[in-house]
Amino acid sequence: MSPPTINPFAPTINLPEERQGIFTELAECEGKTFLYRRLNVMGPFSGTLLYDGRWFRQKIEFAGHLVWFRISWLIIHRKAEFRLPPAVDPEQRSCRMEIDFSRFLWIRRFRIWMGETLVYDEIN
């Protein structure tokens, strides 16, 4: 009898303790729930970043400005690219968000880049 095959693409259920946590010096999490994160970003641009993916819509706000929005009836978008408003960043650099999900849409990894700087990296 051959050993059972393991699917390398299956989401992990539990990560070792040493690989969990928030790895950043530029932001702190002020609140998190199912498909929701509120971050206080201290650099390279300061302000509050809000990701809300509840109620079949996804949005990202930064410093009170809506910077990205999608209706998500069928697909929860795992990646988003957006530009900061001129009031926050006169150069309007490209920013991005990436989410990896575990089962039942629980956020396993949540990352935010502003420009080329990784501002927030959370692994659950």
pLDDT of residue 15: 47
Q: Helices H, strands E: what count in the chain?
A: 0, 10
**pLDDT value of residue 78:** 94
pLDDT of 69: 95
All residue ranges of the chain with pLDDT < 70 are 1-19
Determine how many CB atoms are found less than 10 A away from the CB of residue 77. 13
Alpha-carbon span 4 to 53, nearest angstrom: 37
Checking DSSP bridges between strand 94-101 and strand 21-22, what pairing results, if any? unpaired
Q: How far is CA 50 from the centre of its chain?
A: 10
